């Protein structure tokens, strides 16, 4: 298991924007942007690196090998039954207790504004077949952070990575007070354990229709919270954001992704935690996780886009997140 002394902190800066990255879990520990002459933290995180050794909320991690949930912690591939380690009841969440979030990655700077992380996941780790060489390059460019995620494998196996920051945008209860827009026209319904049923349903007529944009509290007046995969249109313009979040303080987040799904988790189940960055309070609704990825439980739902990667077809995901102050 990792120890506090194993954790390294990499700092990137550009134009008043600062980014902190850890080799533990490929974590985005902190992101600070200019706002009204001050520097404001815009993702939830801890000041003490040791606090990340116990990180049950997956704060800032790259989740995988397979992010999100796999029902029954098992799947069949090419006629072979694969049993995974279960870490959420009978199911697996975010690659299991020993997933990518809990591992020390190799890390090296790539120029002055990027860090390249790599990790070799051995055959059988958390039950997944085959060896996977995973690489994530995180690059800061002005107000934008780019995540370039790749994986090469030696046999067919599922790969579905997700960047898991909780965006706070410098305001209390972001997941209630911010205005959220997403072009998703469908969603993947889930059962009581949050496992997708295999169906794909329209968002129209539900509280998850954000195509025209809505303040999150107004879309969810009863405070039920959201932890659900939204399906973006297959013919959408890739130059347009897959998500936009506007905070009352004038900070705006825009996100671009090449993935078919966007998991939206409003952080309503976040516990009260001490040790947050100055100006933050980690508590329910304090941050919203917007996680582009393949569909959850895709390995058990034939109608979902496949997340099986092969030696001839390696994995690639590109994610860009921009956070900046805009004029009111």
Residue 198 to residue 144: CA distance in whole angstroms:
35
**Residue that is written with structure tokens 């994530």 in the block:** 136
In the numeric block, which tokens belong to residue 195? Answer: 């496992």
The question of whether 108 is a catalytic residue gets the answer no
In the numeric block, which tokens belong to residue 25? Answer: 């879990």
Model's pTM, two decimal places?
0.97
Domain assignment present for residue 47? The answer is yes
Buried b (16+ CB within 10 A) or exposed e, 177-201: bbbbbbbbbbbbebeeebbbebebe
Residue 84 to residue 154: CA distance in whole angstroms:
19
Domain assignment present for residue 278? The answer is yes
pLDDT digits (tens, 9 = 90+) for 72-112: 999 999 999 999 999 999 999 999 999 999 999 999 999 88
Q: Which positions ≥6 away from 147 have C-beta within 8 Å?
A: 136, 137, 138, 163, 317, 318, 319, 320, 321
- Closest Cα partner for 254 from 183, 161, 188, 202? 183
3-state per-residue secondary structure call for 283-323 = CCCCCEEEEEECCCCHHHCCCCCCCEECCCCCEEEEEEEEE
The question of whether 277 is a catalytic residue gets the answer no
Residue 10 to residue 115: CA distance in whole angstroms:
8
Residue 271 to residue 79: CA distance in whole angstroms:
41
CATH number, residue 112: 2.70.98.10
The pLDDT value given to residue 1: 83
134, 150 contact by CB (below 8 A): yes
Most distant CA pair in the chain, distance: 60
Domain assignment present for residue 220? The answer is no
Domains in the chain, number: 1
Give the residue ranges of the chain where pLDDT is below 70.
Answer: 327-328
Domain assignment present for residue 180? The answer is no
Residue 23 lies in domain: 4-173+264-325
- Closest Cα partner for 241 from 250, 232, 251? 232
The pLDDT value given to residue 252: 98
Domain assignment present for residue 253? The answer is no
- Asked whether the bond before 65 is cis by omega within 30 degrees of 0, the reply is yes
Domain assignment present for residue 196? The answer is no
The pLDDT value given to residue 13: 97
Q: Of the listed 164, 208, 268, 277, which one is catalytic?
A: 164
Domain assignment present for residue 97? The answer is yes
Q: Of the listed 126, 135, 244, 291, which one is catalytic?
A: 291
The pLDDT value given to residue 75: 98
- Annotate 110-153 with DSSP letters as a single string: -SSSEEEEEEEEPTTGGG--S-EEEEEEEEEETTEEEEEEEEEE
**Residue that is written with structure tokens 């936009």 in the block:** 244
Domain assignment present for residue 179? The answer is no
């Amino acid at each position: 298991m990792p120890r506090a002394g194993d954790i390294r902190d990499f700092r990137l800066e550009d134009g008043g924007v600062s980014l902190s990255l850890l080799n533990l879990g490929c974590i985005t520990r902190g992101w600070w942007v200019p706002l009204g002459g001050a520097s404001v933290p815009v993702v939830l995180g801890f000041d003490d690196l040791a606090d990340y050794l116990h990180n049950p909320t997956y704060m800032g991690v790259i989740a995988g090998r397979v992010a999100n949930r796999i029902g029954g912690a098992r799947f069949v591939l090419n006629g072979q039954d694969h049993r995974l380690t279960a870490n959420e009841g009978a199911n697996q969440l975010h690659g299991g207790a020993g997933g990518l979030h809990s591992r020390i990655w190799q890390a090296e700077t790539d120029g002055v504004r990027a860090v390249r992380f790599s990790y070799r996941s051995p055959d059988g780790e958390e039950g997944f077949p085959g060896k996977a060489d995973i690489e994530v390059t995180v690059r800061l460019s002005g107000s934008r952070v780019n995540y370039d995620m790749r994986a090469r494998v030696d046999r067919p196996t599922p790969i579905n990575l997700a960047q898991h920051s909780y965006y706070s945008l410098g305001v209390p209860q972001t997941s209630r007070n911010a205005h959220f827009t997403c072009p998703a026209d469908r969603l993947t319904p889930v059962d009581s354990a949050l496992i997708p049923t295999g169906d794909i349903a329209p968002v129209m007529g539900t509280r998850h229709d954000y195509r025209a944009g809505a303040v999150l509290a107004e879309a969810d007046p009863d405070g039920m919270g959201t932890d659900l995969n939204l399906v973006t249109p297959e013919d959408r313009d890739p130059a347009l954001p897959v998500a936009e979040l506007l905070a009352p303080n004038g900070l705006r987040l825009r996100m671009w992704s090449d993935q078919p799904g966007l998991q939206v988790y409003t952080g309503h189940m976040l516990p009260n935690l001490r040790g947050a960055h100055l100006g933050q309070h980690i508590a329910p609704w304090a941050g919203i996780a917007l996680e582009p990825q393949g569909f959850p439980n895709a390995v058990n739902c034939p109608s979902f886009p496949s997340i099986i990667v092969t030696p001839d077809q390696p994995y690639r995901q590109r994610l860009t997140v921009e956070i900046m102050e805009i004029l009111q």
